[in-house]
Amino acid sequence: MNTTRDSEVLIVGAGPTGLMLANILGMYGRTVTVLEARDKLIDYPRGVGLDDESFRTIQTVGLADTVRPHTTPQHIMRLVNGAGTALVVNNPQTDEFGWERKHGFIQPEVDRALFDGLDRFRTVEVHFGHLVEKVEEDGESVTAIATVTGSEGKSEERRFRARYLVGCEGGKSPTRKRLGLSFEGESPSTRWLVVDVNNDPLGTPNVFLGADPKRPYVSIGLPHAVRRWEFMLHDDETEEQVTDPAFVNELLAGHVPNPAALDFIRRRVFTHHARVASSFRKGRQLIAGDAAHLMPVWLGQGWNSGMRDATNLGWKMSAVLSGQAGDALLDTYTSERKDHSQAMVDLSLTFGKAIAITNPLMATARDAASAVLNLFPQVKSYFADMRFKPMPRYTRGVLADPSTQEAGRARARITSKLIPVRIANTTISPVGVQFPQPRFNTRSSPNVLLDDAIGSWWAVIVWGNSPKDVLPQHSLDSLAALGARLVAVVPETQRQWAEQYMDPEVLVLGDHTGRMKKWFDDRPTPLVFLRPDRFVAGACLTQQAPATLGAILTAMSFTEHVAAAGEPVQLAI
């Protein structure tokens, strides 16, 4: 009897990346099986920082209201020296993607929200206690053989087959090792002791990075009255020594009056890692999250980088599985995500080295340099607004160059000699970067976020005009086959007029804040092709739209026979 269970995607690992990917695929109606070796979700704190890009993805899968209670928005970070003087204050005020740039969060609660969110989807199932030890792959499918141990200690093998497998099992990923992918980078020898406690004895809601040359430390206020400390360990201090309660209490003596009275959650030693896999795909198997990249904790980007992976990969797998795109689309996952992952690893390493200086002379020089730099408002705001963080910019992938309409590539600047380009406030290309998410008024909803208004798939957005009035019929046919939403953005003063006179299939958004008007005013690109992950695939003048769309479809390996059928991806929520 054939006991193999079939689905479209196998996800190995029920950590945050695997859970988010399952939510995205479930949202698009794909069949998914998640296999987790543990018996349950991890229930102790790990990641502590959630950024606006991740929250936008959480919004997309309909879980923002569920996750919000487990976060502290506007999480301020202060880098202080041994005397307690602030060297750098990081407090970004922007909400360009619809949410505060930084949040403190309780990872077990947010992971639980992602897991519980899967109950909405009949097509997604999760199996705990399933250890995947062997995988077989052929030209059409991949089969995972999982070992399951019953209550009486007896083990059995179960087989799960799918078109693709995604390994999300963490830094020691068996999937990555099985595929023979190198994991390039370094693991600094510096060890840290992490201490989590309940009933936060300090109560301050933000983050202090203590660049104290005697012993660098971190102190973080988290939601639900949790406090985290991290202390750098000296080479001669053993793990057994530093996890002893008396030693931990001595470390905490400078932070709280009575360390022995704290309600400890855990004491654990960890080592930072800085590594990126050579590729995120081989054949029908892919990797995501920590399986694909490990980064030091300093900028809180490990959890968020996993969310970016799931956001990038989820819509692409859905397009391939629905028949809208060829298998080659999945190759763009590596070309788009690998470079940014490396950039975040490099930045985190650099930031950590500045904090972990133990040489007193070097620490004094660092403090003096910081004091001088803080005298310059532009430099000070560079750190305060977190502009040092490299935002993802894809230069290869599902893109069309705004100057040449070349498929699969996008240069960082628009180089056209047309007057609208030459007189624009900026010629920096919006292609390959994430589109902002302001609020709009619609016929049915006031003050709604962009993504909630336009849905979770492709969209073409035109300023001040109807897409149906500026695009030829063959382009409109391709957009219909793609399942793209047609959107017109107008000043709020013109919204009711536009709703009356534009084609009823066009969604009219009233820009009552003026933020979208300013975005379009600064750029010579009044028409934008927006991907499901909210990155700009193409941006152009309206007369360049047919060529731009054609290049995008080529870059995503769009399947022509689906264009004739005209069946967009069906959403499950």
Cα–Cα distances in angstroms (integers) from residue 437 to residues 102, 133, 306, in the given order:
16, 43, 21
- Indicate the pTM of the whole model: 0.91
Structure tokens at 386: 């977190």
Instruction: Read off the pLDDT of each residue in 156-181 and give the average, rounded to a whole number.
Output: 95
Q: Are 399 and 537 in contact (CB under 8 A)?
A: yes
Q: Closest by alpha carbon to 148, among 131, 160, 126, 134?
A: 131
| 296 has a pLDDT exceeding 80 | no
CA distances from 51 to 102, 194, 534 (A): 5, 22, 16
d(CA 437, CA 458): 15
Query: What pairs with residue 524 in β-bridges?
Result: none
Question: How confident is residue 213, by pLDDT bands cut at 50, 70 and 90?
Answer: confident
Q: How confident is the model at residue 79 (pLDDT cuts 50, 70, 90)?
A: confident
Separation of first and last alpha carbons in the chain: 36
Residue-wise pLDDT tens digits, 312-371: 999 999 999 999 999 999 999 999 999 988 887 777 766 666 666 666 766 566 555 565
Distinct helix (H) and strand (E) counts, the chain? 19, 32
* pLDDT, mean of residues 71-100: 86
Q: What span, in angstroms and rounded, lies between the C-alpha atoms of 15 and 42?
A: 8
Q: What are the structure tokens assigned to 262, written together?
A: 């704290």
Do 519 and 511 meet the contact criterion of CB atoms below 8 Å apart?
Answer: no
Structural domains of the chain, ranges and CATH numbers in brackets: 5-71+99-184+274-352 (3.50.50.60), 191-271 (3.30.70), 396-565 (3.40.30.10)
Mean pLDDT of 262-286: 91
For tokens 């109606």, what's the residue? 29
- Rounded CA gap, 92 and 234, in Å? 34
- DSSP letter for each residue of 548-570: HHHHHHHHTTB-HHHHHHT-PPP
Checking if the pLDDT of 439 tops 50, the result is: yes
Give the pLDDT score at 216. 87
Q: How far, in Å, CA of 396 to CA of 408, rounded?
A: 5
Mean pLDDT of the region 422-445: 95
Give the confidence band of 2 by pLDDT, cuts at 50, 70, 90.
low
State the average pLDDT over residues 272-298: 89
Range from 43-57, 122-136, 412-426 that averages highest in pLDDT: 122-136
